[in-house]
Amino acid sequence: MARLELDGVVKHYGRTEVIRGVDLTVEDGAFCVFVGPSGCGKSTLLRMIAGLEDITDGEALIDGERINERGPADRGLAMVFQTYALYPHKTVYGNMAFALRHAGVAKAVIDRQVRDAAAILGLDGLLERYPRQLSGGQRQRVAIGRAIVRNPRIFLFDEPLSNLDAALRVQMRVEILRLHQRLGTTMIYVTHDQVEAMTLADKIVVLNGGRIEQVGAPMQLYQHPANLFVARFIGSPTMNVLPVTPVGLEGGVARVRTAAGTAVEVPVAEAVTAENTQFGVRPEQLRVLDADVDGDGVFRGVAQVVERLGGETLLHVALGDDAIIVVKAAGGSAHRVGDPVVVAPEDGAGHLFDGTGRCVDRLMPAARA
Amino acid sequence: MSPGQSRRSLALVHLVLAGYTVVALFPVLLVVINSLKTRRAIFTEPLGLPFGAAFDLVGYQTVLAQGDFANYYANSLIVTVVALGLILLLGAAAAHALAEYRFRLNTFFAIYLIIGIMVPIRLGTVAILELMVELSLVNTLLALILVYTAQGLPIAVFIFTEFMRSLSRDIKDSARMDGLSEYRIFLEVVLPLIRPVIATVAVFSMIPIWNDLWFPLILAPGEATKTVTLGVQQFIGQYTVNWNAVLAALTIAILPVLALYALFSRQLIRGITAGAVK
């Protein structure tokens, strides 16, 4: 168990700056997820923590101790890789025991630890098999077992579920979560999948272009994104974003108008600048109304695509001005392609973003009342 | 393609391959058959089988009676095995460095080694001979071992590098996390993974060394350091050739190559087809 601190961490490859100054604290026992689009530097950052990449500038500390100069094996970390990275010429037992054997641990101790880890992961019957005789899920479990056996201070996961099929991914996700609850060890997990990030993390770190966009608990990021990037990245389907013109600010409520003339009210805690303001609202914050509802607070359009997911239906509604908004409607929605659709945001839902993409502070519900 | 058509084209492929096999094996078979015949039978009926009156082991008796022949054979084995070991070890290590690490002269060394593939080592024979004379290595097996190692390295490094680039980076990183030094990563993780390619490179490198006449003739023609190919020359006189002995010696000389091939064949095929079918 350990607490990790990154202080102004920078990584250069030649002249290209891949990580541009990251400050982060991961508390003892936390499940921290690095998430971001491909090429955002999340894997590089993890590999720097692991010691597989040098830290060009800045400091990494575990429990207050600087680890920049320590080799990967001397940091007390264990890592699970996307491609499992099992030794193909060693059995499951051999794979799990390898690091301990190398460290000169007594045979009896190794045996007990390997069998304990195997029991946790349900690998008991597979210890004599070779990796090629295992399924993808079993291989990833062995890889996790190999990490557990080392009893690390921090677990590092580099997109561990990306090579698994969808059903297995969901199952392994739950298993990793259970493992975290059981071991209570600090875990740092890299993924590009925001669903994995939301479901696993205590703390999500959204990275973009080698910089941290926002750090926070999953629901904090979902409800209070710091900027347009985080707002769009967290949540599925992605947030609808429309350009708007501010028309008034009164009693902590900003009034904005879309190009098509729809007026929306968003409670804000600060003034809204006039230029390039955008309004964002999540598909689940929109309600479908009867087609004959009138008023200037509604969006009118035509259903262009209807995705039926069973429990819910996603309507892609083409508005008059070429914009498309996605609405999460009931599973039994009767809408068909070409039908006129009228939707309105829930009262006070949505965010305003200023010209730089920063999210305008929302008035907290308590403050409003 | 319909099933009938594909079967016909498959048959054609096999016909071509079978034809090539016959062409390739015929000379070898001829050597083996004739090594078991009398001198008269070799000339009157070169394609006849060694039965009845034609059967004669005089060739083998001559070769084995020559006390030195066992010595030649040992020389060949020592030179080939040691050179091969050096080629594989140094070649794989160099390839690992080229494939795994970023350093300033990486590309330069890779190209430098490719030049070694393109320029035949025999062009440098005079310089090599001068060098060996300076080092007093003429008429030693070490001279041959060094030359063959140099000769085999470029292509070995080239093949190994290509294959090692395709190895997953994760597995090496995983070994680093497990606390292995870079040398042990090479020995315990990388080498077992490239076994099929080692077999391929071993066979490709061994045959030219075993068969070489040029360098033994120039660098180590002394009686004590003669190799098999050079030793066989004593049966080829200016006026007469002792065909029985020549053919028997050659038949014996084929054996190690065959043994090596049998040992490596499965790995060899996997090595050649790796990447091609995956």
Q: Is B106 touching A (CB cutoff 8 A)?
A: no
Confidence check: pLDDT of B271 > 50: yes
pLDDT higher than threshold 70 for residue A2: yes
Q: Which of B101, B103, B177, B187 to mutate to test the interface with A (most CBs of A within 10 A)?
A: B177
What is the percent of chain A where pLDDT is above 70?
98
A69-78 pLDDT, tens digit per residue, is 999 989 999 9
| pLDDT surpasses 80 at A108 | yes
- pLDDT value of position A248: 84
Q: Which residues of chain A lie closer than 8 angstroms to B182, CB-CB?
A: none
Residue A369: the pLDDT is: 36
| Partner-chain residue, chosen from A51, A81, A103, that has the shortest CB–CB distance to B174 | A81
* pLDDT score at A9: 94
Average pLDDT score over residue span B90-111: 90
B166 and A CB contact within 8 Å: no
Q: Identify the weakest region by mean pLDDT among A234-238, B2-6, B36-40, B134-138.
A: B2-6
Cβ atoms < 10 Å from Cβ of B75: 22
In chain B, residues with a C-beta closer than 8 Å to the C-beta of A98 are 178
Q: Please report residues of A whose CB lies closer than 8 A to that of B177.
A: 50, 52, 72-73, 77-79, 99
When pLDDT is averaged across residues A314-332 and rounded to a whole number, the result is 89
Q: What is the mean pLDDT of chain B?
A: 87
Is residue A225's pLDDT more than 80?
Answer: yes
Kindly state the helix (H) or strand (E) to which residue B177 belongs, with its residue range: helix B169-177
Q: Do B178 and A88 touch (CB under 8 A)?
A: no
Per-residue confidence band for B103, with pLDDT thresholds at 50, 70 and 90: confident
Among the listed ranges A25-34, A300-309, B168-177, B237-246, which one has the minimum average pLDDT value? B237-246
pLDDT at B250: 87
Q: Which residues of A touch B270 (CB under 8 A)?
A: none
pLDDT classification of A368: cutoffs 50, 70, 90: very low
Confidence (pLDDT) at B156: 94
pLDDT exceeds 80 at position A230: yes
Q: Which of A198, A113, A112 is nearest to A152 (CA)?
A: A113
Q: Which of B45-49, B135-139, B167-171 has the highest mean pLDDT?
A: B135-139
Q: Is the pLDDT of residue A367 over 70?
A: no
A177 touches chain B (CB under 8 A): no
Contact A73 B189 (CB under 8 A): no
Pairing of strands A154-158, A77-80: parallel
- Residue B278 pLDDT exceeds 70: no
In A, which residues are within 8 Å of B175 by CB distance? 87
Q: Which of A87, A99, A103 sits opposite B171 (nearest CB)?
A: A87
Question: What integer pLDDT is reported at residue B53 of this predicted model?
Answer: 77
Mean pLDDT of all residues in B44-64: 81
Average pLDDT over residues A328-341: 90
Q: Is B31 an 8 Å CB contact of chain A?
A: no
pLDDT of residue A144: 93
The mean of the pLDDT values for chain A is: 91
Residue B273 is predicted with a pLDDT of 60
Rounded percentage of chain B residues whose pLDDT exceeds 90:
37
**Cβ–Cβ contact A14 with B under 8 A:** no
Contact yes or no for B174 and A85 at CB 8 A: yes
User: Does the structure show a pLDDT above 90 at A232?
Assistant: yes
Q: Do A79 and B180 touch (CB under 8 A)?
A: no
Give B-chain residues touching A78 at CB under 8 angstroms. Answer: 177
Which pLDDT tens digit goes with each residue over A133-160?
A: 998 889 999 999 999 999 999 999 999 9
* Residue A70 contacts residue A51 (beta carbons within 8 Å): yes
Q: Look at residue A281 and tell me whether its pLDDT is greater than 60.
A: yes
Answer whether B178 sits within 8 Å of A73, measured CB to CB. Answer: yes
Smallest CA–CA distance, residue A48 to chain B, in Å, is 12
Asked if the Cβ–Cβ distance from A88 to B193 is below 8 Å, we say yes
User: Are B177 and A82 an interchain contact pair (Cβ–Cβ within 8 Å)?
Assistant: no
Backbone phi, psi, residue A12, to 5°: -115, 140
Beta-sheet pairing, A154-158 with A211-216: unpaired
> Is a pLDDT exceeding 60 seen at residue A365?
no
Minimum Cα–Cα distance from B180: chain A residue: A102
Cα A325 from Cα A36, distance rounded (Å): 23
- Region A348-352: what's the mean pLDDT? 90
Q: Is A130 on the interface with B (CB under 8 A)?
A: no
Most trustworthy range by pLDDT among A17-26, B236-245, B267-276 = A17-26
Q: Shortest Cα distance from A171 to chain B (angstroms)? A: 23
Torsion sign over Cα B84, B89, B95, B98: negative
Which residue(s) pair with A191 in the sheet?
A: A35
Residue with the larger pLDDT of the pair A20 and A348: A20
Which residues lie across from A308 on neighbouring strands? A313
Query: Cβ–Cβ of A99/B171 closer than 8 Å?
Result: no
Q: What is the DSSP letter of A239?
A: P
Among B87-101, B162-176, B229-243, the range scoring the smallest mean pLDDT is B229-243
- What is the per-residue pLDDT across A160-170, written as a single tens digit (0 to 9) for each? 998 888 888 99
In angstroms, the separation between the Cα of residue A45 and the nearest Cα of chain B is: 15
pLDDT for A3 beyond 80:
yes
Nearest CA in chain B to A49: B177
Check residue B207 and give its pLDDT. Answer: 87
Pairs across A and B, CB distance < 8 A: 56
Q: How many of the other CB atoms lie within 10 Å of CB of B231?
A: 22
CB nearest A85 (choices: B170, B180, B192): B170
Residue B277's pLDDT is 40
Q: What is the nearest CA distance from A154 to chain B, expressed in angstroms?
A: 12
> Can you state the percent helix, strand and coil of chain B, rounding each to 5?
80, 0, 20
| Phi, psi values for residue B14, rounded to 5° | -65, -35
- Rounded Cα distance between A253 and B267, Å, is 74
CB contacts, 8 Å: A86 with chain B:
171
Beta strand residue intervals within chain A, DSSP E: 4-13, 16-26, 31-35, 57-62, 65-66, 77-80, 154-158, 186-191, 203-208, 211-216, 240-250, 253-258, 263-267, 278-281, 286-289, 299-308, 312-319, 324-330, 340-345, 351-353
Query: At B64, is the pLDDT very low, low, confident or very high (cuts 50, 70, 90)?
Result: confident
CA distance A86 to chain B (A): 7
